[in-house]
Structure 1
């Protein structure tokens, strides 16, 4: 089918068509047809060359992977099995030596080189993960690393490997971690190492939530197996408390406010005065659920409306009084004024200013409910 079109063309293009015009005795239509045919042949040849080049590159990559498998440097594993392994070891940290098998710390010192190397490594290994970085030159104080595409489970392992390398070799600790179905984003901030043998706090928090727990299980496996077995058999209806606290309860006494303050500092790692009230409440929640003295807890950390509700199963009057005294001493030790209200199976601590001083030592439960207040 012949298509007729009116076209406008500059003289410079007519000049370029001169060889084709000469060949066709000045016939412009024929010259244009010949030029299109010639261009089409060139494009086809380019595509063929590119295809052959890609084929050679793919073949070279396959040969490289096969050699790595033959040399036992790499191992073929089904992706389903790999996903299972990664999921079951979630929260455990990779060892530095393992990461350095992938990235040589003696040759990769700068972030641009790091990103380029990792992307080349991804292509070579067929991981299908693309790594991008956002940072300021020359010595970035912050860094955003984005890993996109690839298997989500394996992408998590790669993310941890890169984060560990950046933490140890470039002093960039993890400040935030966000996972989506097709991308993982890690936020870093520069810091100074105090101890190179330790894992940076941010990195461990975001990638190693189960690391310390697993180390303890490895140290005393029989103890932890028996403990878990006992808790499960008794449906977690057991107490877990400090020996000194237990001794105080048995002797009919309670730990002093000073003792509770020292115990809090030991638990939190910092003195009570370094925490806000909201932080105190969240630490207390963790302590309460760990002790298992009560059955549940409800907290509010909204400024000006802070409260803690302790739910318990005790009905004996004296037991309830002792529990109130015990937890009141804990809150006294953190130095924030509060009132305490009790009712059957519930104790409520409310925090606020302008509370009148009151001593909580031997409270009585007048009727169904009582209220006391304390100001440090």
Structure 2
């Protein structure tokens, strides 16, 4: 049965009802029914909160740093209110007044219908105003994306108030700013809820082991199982959202700290300007040496040379920009040189002969050699039009290179492997004097060339070395 009554409402009541009327496309009766229905479902006086203060406070604390689902947000604040900052402010003031939250909310904006700058000022209980700031910021960002995207520029907290500044930006920055300021735990909670059994087991294992578990990317772990030095850090590239070589050094150091600490590879990582101090509990010397080399190679992939020294439970990585500058000058010259391979070889030899000016830095020499080896192969590849490498093209490249620098070598196929023998090396031997460091660097140049051609598919078994007192060098190249 429908009962028709005539009622009188003052202007203030009508304005408060406007959001409901707009939600129902101007149908005043439908708006009234929703208001009455809501009041009936609450079962509480008009100005009472739906839940007790203690429970409300706990709920707000538990949802801190978690964004409200879009569907819930749309039910809470009608998206159409985005067309009027004034009506949005009035509706929210009414809404939280209805809940008895005792919140003062003010919106300041440069344009009432299409703002490009918005300032939110909220006063009241600390936990409540933070929640209101979160949902209002989320509302403004979400509903501005298709018009003039607004990003959160800053959030300023006071003892009894909070200010949020938003300004015009793009969609990506708008989304990121929302996560940065109000959604820090949002992705974490969603991941846990999507696979609770997995995360419960992982957390239990970390707790039971007193956080002595180590978490590694599968590809990284595979390299370790294969007794290879991982060439990069997939997790770091994923976090940075760009290749390792494009990450600025300062950012790279902090990413190393974050990844190595949270994965529990290291107990603690400290950064001192451009140097790194890594604290660990490993006891095996070979394991510590491998970790040291991994870090040096990782930073080399980032374009920087580091020395590494270790004591009982500490690895110290010292930046060597002096060596890096020399190497980078050579590499830059090689890249701009018009004479390709011949000029590179001349510069390579000249640098090796003059490199006694550089202090004793064996790990940096490893990096140096590999970097020069890669550059040699890059230019050889360009000059000879090589599209892909195999053992035959690699053998031919080094036969050419060795003939030009007077290294006497032989190549022999052993099944699917290639035996490479150096019978005389004029690079490392001058007269009767053998230079260990030059030999080491030349050997690493060969490894760098091999890695450039075949990546992690290449294995290298060393059988004999001149530097170990043998009368020749002999290695077996294995391609997997």
Alignment partner for residue 81 of structure 1, among 30, 42, 55? 55
1:293 positional shift: 1.6
Look up the match of 1:214. Answer: 189
Give 1:187's match in structure 2, choosing from 136, 145, 165: 165
Cα–Cα, structure 1 residues 73 and 287, in superposed 2: closer, same or farther, change >3 Å?
A: farther
Q: 2:280 aligns with which of 306, 312, 316?
A: 312
Which residue is equivalent to 1:132? 106
Contact 2:82 2:140 in 1 (8 A): no
Quote the Cα distance in structure 2 between the aligned partners of 1:354 and 1:273. 19
- Which residue matches 2:466? none
SS of the residue 1:355 aligns to: helix
Task: Give the SS at the match of 1:298.
Answer: strand
How many Å separate the matches in 1 of 2:86 and 2:245?
43
Alignment-derived partner of residue 236 in structure 1: 211
d(CA) in 2 for partners of 1:72, 1:180: 33
What is aligned with 2:40? Answer: 70
1:3 is matched with none
For residues 284 and 233 of structure 1, what CA distance do their matches in structure 2 show? Answer: 26
CA positional deviation for 1:308: 1.3
The TM-score with structure 2 as length reference comes to 0.55
Query: For 1:224 and 1:231, how far apart are their aligned partners in 2?
Result: 11
Q: TM-score, normalised by structure 1?
A: 0.70
Q: Distance in 1 between matches of 2:50 and 2:111?
A: 40
Q: Relative to structure 1, is the Cα distance of residues 179 and 73 closer, same or farther in structure 2, using a 3 angstrom cutoff? A: farther
Instruction: Name the residue aligned to 1:271.
Output: 243
Cα distance, 1:263 vs. partner? 5.4
SS at the partner of 1:185? strand
Match of 1:97 among 62, 66, 71: 71
Q: Which of 156, 161, 165 matches 1:178? A: 156
Greater relative contact order: 1 or 2 (C-alpha under 8 angstroms, separation 6 or more)? 1
Aligned pairs for 1:159-178 (under 5 A) are 159-170=133-144, 171-178=149-156
Q: What is the DSSP-based 3-state SS (H/G/I as helix, E as strand, rest coil) of the residue aligned with 2:83?
A: coil
Structure 1 residues 73 and 104: alpha-carbon distance in aligned structure 2, compared to 1, 3 A threshold: farther
The answer on whether the counterparts of 1:241 and 1:291 sit within 8 Å (CA) in structure 2 is: yes
- Report if the CA contact (8 A) 1:69-1:76 is conserved: no
Alignment of 1:106 with 2:84, yes or no, is: no
The residue number in structure 2 matching 1:295 is 267
Relative distance call for 1:140 and 1:371 in structure 2 (3 A) is: farther
The aligned residue for residue 342 of structure 1 is: 310
Question: Which residue number in structure 2 is paired with residue 205 of structure 1?
Answer: 180
Report how many aligned residue pairs link the two structures.
295
* Distance (Å, rounded) in 1 between the aligned partners of 2:257 and 2:303: 17
Question: Is the CA contact 2:309–2:317 (under 8 Å) kept in the aligned structure 1?
Answer: yes
Q: Which whole-Å CA distance do the structure 2 matches of 1:306 and 1:97 have between them?
A: 47
Quote how far apart the aligned CAs of 1:294 are: 1.7
Alignment gaps of 5+ in structure 2: 1-12, 17-33, 328-360, 372-480
The secondary structure found in structure 2 opposite 1:349 is strand
User: Structure 1 residues 273, 247: CA separation in 2 closer, same or farther (over 3 Å shift)?
Assistant: closer
- Structure 1 residues 345-369: Cα deviation after superposition (integer angstroms, max 9, x where no partner): 11122335322579xxxxxxxxxxx
